[in-house]
Amino acid sequence: MNPVAATAVELRLARRMGRLSGETAFEVLHKARLLEAKGHDIVHLEIGEPDFDTPANIMEAGITAIREGFTHYTPSAGMIELREAAAEDIRKTRGIPCTAEEVVVVPGAKPTVFFSFMALVEEGDEVIFPTPGFPAYESLTNFMGAKPVPIKLREEHDFRLDPNELADLITDRTSLIILNSPHNPTGGVLNQQDLRDIAAAIGDRNIMVLSDEIYSRLIYEGDFHSIASLPGWKDRTIILDGFSKTYAMTGWRLGYGVMRADLAKHFGKLMTNANSCTAAFTQIAGVEGLRGDQTAVENMRIEFRRRRDQFVKRLNEIKGFSCRVPAGAFYTFPNISKTGRTSKQLADALLEQAGVACLAGTAFGEFGEGYLRFSTANSFENLNKAADRIEEWVGKSL
């Protein structure tokens, strides 16, 4: 007789799991792959990752590191070489003092978002984040049992948040404000004056800012500015940066957070508990990324701009579409409200009937209704092919 009979048991999930959301980009990618398996030809403009290979010098550094035995644990907060290289980069690009002990190396950009919530947000707190916006901000706010306080980014304001609206949304419960510039999904970029006004709106309240600067090197108009560069703001800001977008390294999983040293210690503890450390050879490759030749980065930026200019021009020629020129990142976010379809209806139809995978603006929150997001991290030829297909489909169907 078997005393421990295997019976089906109900999955008893922690309640918080019901508050965590997925990401539409991955769902659309899956749907597009199923269509491809049935013989459809799809142009993929749904996923936000550079189509370029990781630059050769970085790949070589990673491969050599594996051969040299960098295949073991590293300190949880990262190897000192990479923390120093990142600190040096922050000093150079943001014009502020920064030391290695203020840098925590993590696997990708997302852990810096996750750890910021874990370290700073209590149940019942309020978190302000841009909408439309990167889905993890709202999902993690809900996960923590905090209250989401979305701040709208308006097309007529070039998708830059309005500091007056921000001032109205801040309360005594606000514990974290998230900025993201250049912005996913709209390509909006905050200028120096915007940041000064945002800082003034927050004033001297004890609120931390998570500044998601993952697209900081992908700017086509004007310069990049960080709120951390304003006098007194370095210690009130967590800078999120990483390698996925700038160095076409999405699959390497490498990023870092920059923050006051006392908070960095807590991030290190979160790393110890969650990941032990980031892969050693990946970190060595990261040092080469930051300190090595930057020609490939600049070439990618120039090519992203060329694609942006062409794709925006093509979209603006399509009936019912109107598209601002995004100043940064690699997304276009056309207004499609004049097509008479909702974002989701149009995105589904373009995938199923025109062979173009893109995302409904609502994948980035309700305020994304009336827009689509196309990633321009695909070849010039494929972007033209997508524009041809959309134009033809609109001509036939609307």
Ligand X SMILES: Cc1ncc(COP(=O)(O)O)c(C=O)c1O
Q: Does 110 bind ligand X (CB under 6 A)?
A: yes
Which residues in 315-341 are b (16+ Cβ under 10 Å) and which e? beebeebebbebbbbbbbbbbbbebeb
CB of 49 to ligand X, least distance (A): 7
250 lines the binding site for ligand X (CB under 6 A): yes
CB of 22 to ligand X, least distance (A): 14
The answer to whether 214 contacts ligand X (rule: CB under 6 A) is yes
Interaction residues for ligand X, span 278-317 (CB under 6 A)? none
Residue 139 makes contact with ligand X by CB under 6 A: no
Stretch that binds ligand X, among 27-35, 107-115, 139-147, 148-156 (CB under 6 A): 107-115
192 phi and psi angles, rounded to 5 deg: -60, -40
Nearer to ligand X, 48 or 292 (CB): 48
Residue from 193, 214, 157 nearest 330 by CA:
214
Binds ligand X by CB under 6 A, chosen from 61, 109, 195, 327: 109
CB of 38 to ligand X, least distance (A): 28
* Smallest gap from residue 339 Cβ to ligand X (A): 26
Q: Which stretch binds ligand X (CB under 6 A): 31-39, 102-110, 220-228, 355-363?
A: 102-110
Q: Which stretch binds ligand X (CB under 6 A): 103-111, 139-147, 229-237, 270-278?
A: 103-111
Q: Is residue 334 a contact point for ligand X (CB under 6 A)?
A: no
Based on CB atoms, which residue is closest to ligand X, 46 or 194? 46
Closest CA to 255 of 277, 267, 240: 240
Q: Tokens in use for 170?
A: 């801040």
Report d(CA 97, CA 287) in Å as an integer.
19
Please identify, using beta-carbon distances, which residue of 48 and 355 lies nearer to ligand X: 48
Q: Using N-to-C axis directions, what is the helix angle for 295-316 and 380-397, rounded to 10°? A: 20
By the 10 Å C-beta count (0-12 exposed, 13-18 middle, 19+ buried), 132 is classed as buried
48 lies in the site for ligand X, by CB under 6 A: yes
Using CB under 6 A, which of the segments 106-114, 138-146, 190-198, 351-359 binds ligand X? 106-114
- Using CB under 6 A as the binding rule, whether residue 134 contacts ligand X is answered as yes
Residues 319 and 180: their CA atoms lie apart, in Å, by 31
Euclidean distance between CA atoms 263 and 234, whole angstroms: 12
Does residue 332 bind ligand X (CB under 6 A)?
no
**Number of residues located near ligand X, criterion CB under 6 A:** 13
Residue 176 main-chain phi, psi, to 5 deg = -145, 135
Contact between 180 and ligand X by CB under 6 A: the answer reads yes
Instruction: Kindly indicate which of the ranges 104-112, 139-147, 299-307, 310-318 contains the residues binding ligand X, using the contact rule CB under 6 A.
Output: 104-112
Closer CB to ligand X, residue 48 or residue 368?
48
Residues 6+ apart with CB under 8 A from 109: 212, 214, 240, 241, 242, 244, 255
Selected from 158, 212, 288, 303, the binder of ligand X by CB under 6 A is: 212
Q: 67 — phi, psi (to 5°)?
A: -60, -35
Question: 331 phi and psi, to 5 degrees?
Answer: -130, 150
Look up residue 8 and give its two tokens.
Answer: 């089906």
Q: Which is nearer to ligand X, 243 or 321 (CB)?
A: 243
Tokens of 135: 């889905």
Of all residues in this chain, which one has the CB nearest to ligand X in the complex?
108
At 152 the three-state DSSP class reads strand
- Chain residues binding ligand X by CB under 6 A are 48, 108-110, 134, 180, 184, 212, 214, 242, 244, 250, 255
